Chains A and B, each alone.
Chain A
Amino acid sequence: AQKVTQAQTEISVVEKEDVTLDCVYETRDTTYYLFWYKQPPSGELVFLIRRNSFDEQNEISGRYSWNFQKSTSSFNFTITASQVVDSAVYFCALNKDGQNFVFGPGTRLSVLP
């Protein structure tokens, strides 16, 4: 069975602080895909990144970076120099075939001015 854990229910930081959102997953598949989605207060779900299980390179996109470590089954998301607009619920998700997505419960990030 597949499972995604986001142990941090809520995080609060002050603007310009760096913040890391944790994601730990469980799967028996050797090929799988990991995702992060952002849900701002307006409610829509925004796709941020997909990572394949056979590519452990970290990725950086502007202030966002992702650290994928198969040895610890983790796919953590770091926001550098956080901004108020980063306030949202962030979901980590896992699937093996594009079909059966398993989502974590989400982490609510509040960035205070």
Chain B
Amino acid sequence: DAGITQSPRHKVTETGTPVTLRCHQTENHRYMYWYRQDPGHGLRLIHYSYGVKDTDKGEVSDGYSVSRSKTEDFLLTLESATSSQTSVYFCAIRSGTSFNEQYFGPGTRLTVT
């Protein structure tokens, strides 16, 4: 258990509305990540953070923004949700004996109607 929680766990929203997903960790990990999971694509990196207020884009960052104002929280915002953003979103932290493993939160299932 990497001490990661995500909220909400499920959300249905309408096209055009803003949505914020929260990732919370309790073990002071410096690196945090947001992925989306879609059938046939595995997981794809949206954004990541390497410290408070330090973030960078991943492979599929268009339409998403992130913020990290404190170590324990990493927020993912969809400014104006679209149906193509219907997905399962996973947060992850970086850890492990060689500091190159990633451990995942329970996921958030987002449906945009």
Contact = CB atoms under 8 A, between A and B. Distances in A.
Interface of A: 4, 33, 35, 37, 43-45, 47, 50, 52, 91, 93, 95, 97-101, 103-106
Contacts of B41: 105
Nearest to B42: A103
Contacts of A47: 101-103
B96 A103 contact: no
Interface in B25-61: 31, 40-45, 48
A50 B101 contact: yes
**Does more than half of chain B's interface fall in helix, strand or loop, or is it mixed?**
strand
Given A45-B90, A93-B43, A97-B100, 8 more contacts: A35-B101, A43-B106, A44-B106, A50-B98, A98-B94, A98-B101, A99-B31, A101-B102
Contact of B40 (A98, A101, A105): A105
B20 to A, nearest CB: 21
A95 B88 CA distance: 22
Contact of B45 (A37, A101, A106): A101
Interface residues of B, number: 22
Interface of B: 31, 40-45, 48, 88, 90, 94, 96, 98-104, 106-107, 109
